[in-house]
Amino acid sequence: MKILSLKINIILNLLRTVTSIAFPLISFPYISRVLMPDGVGRINFATSFISYFIVLSSFGISSYGFRAVAHARDNKELLSKTVHELFLVNIVATLVSYASLLVIVFSNKQFYDAKELIFILSSMIVFTTISLDWVYIGLEQYLVITLRALIFPIISLLLMFAYVKTKDDYLKYALITVFSVAASSLFNFFYIKKFIYIKLYRDYNLIPHIKGTWNFFVMAILANVFAKLDNTFLTMFSSYGTVGLFSSANKLIMLGTTILGSVNNIFVARFSYYLKNKQQDAYNNSLNTALYFITLITIPCVFGMEMLSKDVVMLLMGSQFQGSIVLCRILAPTLVFSMLSLFFSNQVLYAHEADKKLLVSNIFFGLLSLVLNVILIPKFHDWGAAFSVLLSTFGGAVIVILYSKPYLRSSIKSGPVFRSVAAAIIMSVIIYSTTLLSNSSLVRVLSSVPVGIVTYFSVLLILKEPLALQVLEQLIGRIRGQFC
């Protein structure tokens, strides 16, 4: 099978991630005005409820699966058998998940009253199972994933505008939401025959996979619980308005984390493949290059967010969210800590199958977050929640890096970090000067971002940053290839 280069996969996965963010941003203003708060509340209630059962049905396979696939991808027979075994585990978990959902719906009046909406959206449990995304990620088939992510959401968007017209159309909106997931999943399910054999094997062995997925299943549950801690504590000790200010700022930073994280995720299958096939030199070289690359794109994002928080908040949220500005500035450094944590978790611990260390680091992060929430939120409210996220993310990154040290065969150079920080400081000065030229938040953002990017990249070239020089050489080479 054809494996695209890491550069192409990075571009494709970035496009997929941006698309997954862009479509909700386009649809939400329309849906919020048509369905009104009551309809949106119904959808959010049912979606949140279903999300727990999707986690249960996945049973950690979405995380464990693509590593197992990456290990077996050079042997189609082994690959096919591995996919079959994991899919069987997934089916059993899905049946247990659905049975649990039915018991809860029919035994609780609040859920029973919303049964039509819940049953429509619950079909996403099945479609998520048959989507087999973990197979395509393990095989690094990002072109397939990206094309699917572009086509079906566009169709869903058109259907939404055509059929969702009144506040009573929330069931239609739920069906359209399911359509996007269903169409993508069915495409994946039937297209998978291009990569594996569709036949029965006599010697299926599910136990090793169940053991392998267990740690990831526990981590997924912990992540769901710990992700809601700050909002839960803030609701207990403050007002809904304060919760709104913090959650809005946190979502804005998480948006950046999601986009940057899509770059990080690209390397996982490739690095797992290198280690499984004992290509240690290729792994070490690629690991350092990937770390420097992620550092060079994350650090300027932090400085840029610090400089443009006010304009971004005013542009996306409005003047009533002014309290979110300082929270964004507190939370901005978590971009670096999150990326470091994600990098060493995925590219080192996960790639080396150090799953117990991954689990321990997740538990440590969750407990640290809990302790900081208890200490800071009752006294400092939204500021306390922001510093709790900042400090717990920093602590999580530290513990993951410490766990990763025994697996690092080559030293990590500090030069790229210093050059990136120096370039980001100069970029910040230029951005600040640019913002003085206009009073419009939109104009400030649209002018500052390209000016900042050009300034940052130019300073890196002046400082002779190797990766920046390599990118420039490749650009010049392609331009020459087009015109010479």
The pLDDT assigned to 475 comes to 65
Q: What angle (nearest 5°) sits at the alpha carbon of residue 483, between those of residues 478 and 484?
A: 95
Kindly state whether residues 129 and 247 are assigned to the same domain. no
**Is 306 found in the same domain as 246?**
yes
**DSSP label at residue 347:** I
Helix, coil or strand: residue 225: helix
Higher pLDDT, 150 or 83: 83
Please indicate, yes or no, whether residues 419 and 468 belong to a single structural domain of this protein: yes
Q: Is the pLDDT of residue 180 over 80?
A: yes
Same domain, 87 and 153: yes
Burial of 109 (0-12, 13-18, 19+ CB in 10 A): exposed
Q: What is the pLDDT of residue 333?
A: 92
20 vs 392, higher pLDDT? 392
Give the tokens for residue 440.
């419009």
pLDDT bin (cut points 50, 70, 90) of residue 430 is very high
- DSSP single-letter state for residue 60: T
* Residue 481: predicted pLDDT: 58
Check whether 273 has a pLDDT greater than 90.
Answer: no
The CA radius of gyration of the chain, in Å to the nearest whole number, is: 23
Dist CA 68 CA 6 (whole Å) = 19
Where does a domain end: 179, 209, 226?
226
Q: Is residue 483 part of a domain?
A: no
For the chain, how many residues are written?
Answer: 484
C-beta atoms surrounding 107 within 10 Å: 9
Whether 407 maps to a domain, the answer reads yes
pLDDT of residue 479: 60
Q: What is the pLDDT of residue 247?
A: 76
pLDDT for 5: 63
Residue 360 lies in a domain: yes
pLDDT of residue 29: 67
Q: Are residues 302 and 207 in the same domain?
A: no
- Residue 95 confidence (pLDDT) above 90: yes
| pLDDT score of 169 more than 70 | yes
CB 427 within 8 A of CB 300: yes
Rounded-to-integer distance, Cα 247 and Cα 234, Å: 10
- Domain identity same for 275 and 396: yes
For residue 477, the model assigns a pLDDT of 64
Claim to verify: residue 274 and residue 334 sit in the same structural domain: yes
Mean predicted confidence (pLDDT) in 246-254: 80
Same-domain pairing of 165 and 299:
no
Mean pLDDT of 429-439: 89
Is 197 in the same domain as 150? yes
- Write the pLDDT tens digit of every residue in 290-307: 888 888 888 999 999 899
Has residue 61 been placed in a domain? yes
Mean pLDDT value across the chain = 82
Q: What is the DSSP letter of 319?
A: G
Residue 394 has pLDDT above 90, yes or no: yes
Rounded Cα–Cα distance for residues 377 and 286 (Å): 41
What is the average per-residue pLDDT within 96-116?
88
Residue 157 lies in a domain: yes
Instruction: Tell me if 484 is assigned to some domain.
Output: no
User: Is the per-residue pLDDT at 272 higher than 90?
Assistant: no
3-state secondary structure of 351: coil
Among 205, 226, 247, the domain boundary falls at 226
Distances (CA, A) of 422 to 268, 300, 416, 447: 30, 10, 10, 21
Q: How many folded domains does the chain comprise? A: 2
pLDDT of 458 > 70? The answer is yes
Q: Tens of pLDDT along 133-150?
A: 888 888 877 777 777 777
The residue that leads in pLDDT, 402 or 262, is 402
Say what the pLDDT of residue 391 is: 93
Task: Note whether residue 97 is domain-resident.
Answer: yes
Query: What's residue 6's pLDDT?
Result: 63
Q: What are phi and psi of 282, to 5 degrees?
A: -60, -40
CB neighbour class for 180 (10 Å; exposed up to 12, middle 13-18, buried from 19): buried
Looking up tokens 């397939």 gives 144
Statement: residue 377 has pLDDT above 70: yes
* Statement to judge: residues 197 and 83 lie in one domain: yes
* Residues 156 and 167 grouped into a single domain: yes
Domain that holds residue 358: 228-478
Q: How many helices (H) and strands (E) does the chain have?
A: 18, 0
- Looking at 198, 226, 254, the residue that finishes a domain is 226
Decide if 442 is inside a domain: yes
Place of tokens 């950046």: 256
Residue 330 has pLDDT above 80, yes or no: yes
> What integer is the mean pLDDT of 100-106?
91
Whether 434 and 362 share a structural domain: yes
Q: List all residues 6 or more positions away from 311 whose beta carbon is below 8 Å from its beta carbon.
A: 435, 441, 444, 445, 448
pLDDT in tens, 30-65: 776 777 767 776 777 787 788 888 888 888 888 888
* pLDDT for 21 beyond 80: no
Query: Is it the case that residue 480 has pLDDT exceeding 70?
Result: no
